[in-house]
Structure 1
Amino acid sequence: MSDVCLIVGAGDGTGAAVAHRFAREGFTICAARRNGDKLLPLIDGLKAQGHAAHGHALDARDEEQVVRLFAEIEGSIGPVGVCVFNVGGNVRIPIREMTREKYFKVWEMSALAGFLVCREAARVMVPRGRGTILMTGATASMRGGSGFAAFAGAKHALRALAQSMARELGPEGIHVAHLVVDGGIDSEAAHVRQPDRYARHGRAAFIDPEAIAEAYWHLHCQPRTAWTHEMDIRPAIETW
């Protein structure tokens, strides 16, 4: 029975690229997102290439759903060897227009959901003494931009979770790392959202999802004597 790579927040960009990268290395892929129907192209594509893949509808903010998903995977599919938390809700709202409901929704998508998913990953990995937990951060993990109070607060919290878990679980054999994705992900939608940037620099202005997936794979493969616990990724032209 091969190890499982569980990707929570398996969208069409980074999440899908990570799924394909780990599948090529023999992992069984379990991809989860709130709208399970949107996983069908990814799962069908992986299966067409001969990979084992499963799609799961999951609201990662719901503790019962998260606990149940891990129990299902561990009991019926295989041991979770890698857990990638890739959920995030990025909205730009001036602070004077921010409501409690909007702030809380953004916070629970990153901070609360990240805690629930990564806690369950730790619970199944620690008894085995091995495993990798990777959390996707953003520019907002490091600094709060104008209008991004909710997103920055949530991403700062996720980064703090990763730091705490890395220190606690490292001695148990669990590699926890936080990846700061500092830039836009390359996609047709990104080109439309930033037409001037795309016109000046082309695709070099955006981060290739497959390159991000390669970084995730590199982190998983690191020897225990030289673990990286935080990595930042950005295009060469990005101002930072």
Structure 2
Amino acid sequence: MKAAKVAVIVGAGPGLGFALAQRFAHAEMSVALVARNAARLDGLASACCGIVHSAHPYICDATDEAAVDQLFAAVEADLGTPQVVVYNAGTYVPGSVLETSAADFERCWRVGCLGGFLVGRAAARAMLARIEQGGEGGTLLFTGATASLRGSAGFHNLAVGKAGLRSLSQSMARELGPRGIHVAHIVIDGRIGPAGGEASASMLDPAAIADAYYQLHCQPRSAWTQELDLRPWCEKF
């Protein structure tokens, strides 16, 4: 029996993370759900049961270099080398720059940007090893935001990490694309609605976003997208 292809979702939560897990599972891929919250992971994995291939929960702090390396070693042993890895983690503390502590600023940057570097590097190393053995390449997808493009008042804790993640994706795309790895950054310009729920007209449907991610993964290498922006039809930009 042919082994299932593997998708890794880092930053798996009840919104977009869950929608991504469902979309890749429906494509007959084994899905590794990665987050720091064990209780949340178990619930998401259970909700994915029955979709061709069950989701597999992995606890990992994406800002911990050793933990990320251990994560990819575990996924390799359990499921195989991933075909697609999504970095969907992020956090921020809104407020005035005058009142932001250095600890909060660093924590938001570590989750928003450093974690993307650590996960992207580990994924690229695994995918390149497969390519060197005659196998196929892979896809790295980074979730961005409006703040990836501009820093609004009160959102510096989000903007700095997201802008850095965008630059990281561009550098990785230019280095890794010629070697067979598709790297893309997705600008989510707007609020994301609830997974499986009724979203207002002003919110992005997480299932629709997840489908766009899957289509990026399926693109032929003769026409790769490096950056894609997604927003609801009524969003001003």
TM-score category of the 2 structures, normalised to the smaller one: over 0.9
TM-score with structure 2 length normalisation? 0.93
Moved more, 139-148 or 41-50: 41-50
The alignment covers a number of residue pairs equal to 229
Q: Which runs of 5+ in 2 are unaligned?
A: 132-136
Please say if residues 93 and 104 of structure 2, whose CA atoms lie closer than 8 Å, have aligned partners that are also in contact.
Answer: no
Counterparts of 2:59 and 2:189, CA distance in 1: 28
Identity over aligned residues, as a percent? Answer: 47
Q: Which residue of 1 aligns with 2:59?
A: 57
Among residues 29, 32, 36, which one is paired with 1:30 in the alignment?
Answer: 32
Among residues 158, 171, 196, which one is paired with 1:164 in the alignment?
Answer: 171
Q: Which residue of 1 aligns with 2:14?
A: 12
Please say if residues 169 and 176 of structure 1, whose CA atoms lie closer than 8 Å, have aligned partners that are also in contact.
Answer: yes
Please say if residues 37 and 59 of structure 2, whose CA atoms lie closer than 8 Å, have aligned partners that are also in contact.
Answer: yes
Q: Which residue of 2 aligns with 1:120?
A: 122
Please say if residues 28 and 52 of structure 2, whose CA atoms lie closer than 8 Å, have aligned partners that are also in contact.
Answer: no
**How many angstroms does 1:151 deviate by?**
1.0
Greater helix share, structure number: 1
Structure 1 residue ranges, 4+ long, deviating more than 3 angstroms after superposition: none
Q: Which residue of 2 aligns with 1:197?
A: none
TM-score with structure 1 length normalisation? 0.92
Question: What does residue range 157-196 of structure 1 map to in structure 2 within 5 Å?
Answer: 157-187=164-194
SS in 2 for 1:205: coil
- Are residues 1:227 and 2:230 paired? no
SS in 1 for 2:200: helix
- Are residues 1:155 and 2:152 paired? no
Q: Which residue of 2 aligns with 1:137?
A: 144
**How many angstroms does 1:107 deviate by?**
0.2
**How many angstroms does 1:50 deviate by?**
3.7
Counterparts of 1:127 and 1:172, CA distance in 2: 11
Counterparts of 1:148 and 1:52, CA distance in 2: 37
Counterparts of 1:158 and 1:187, CA distance in 2: 25
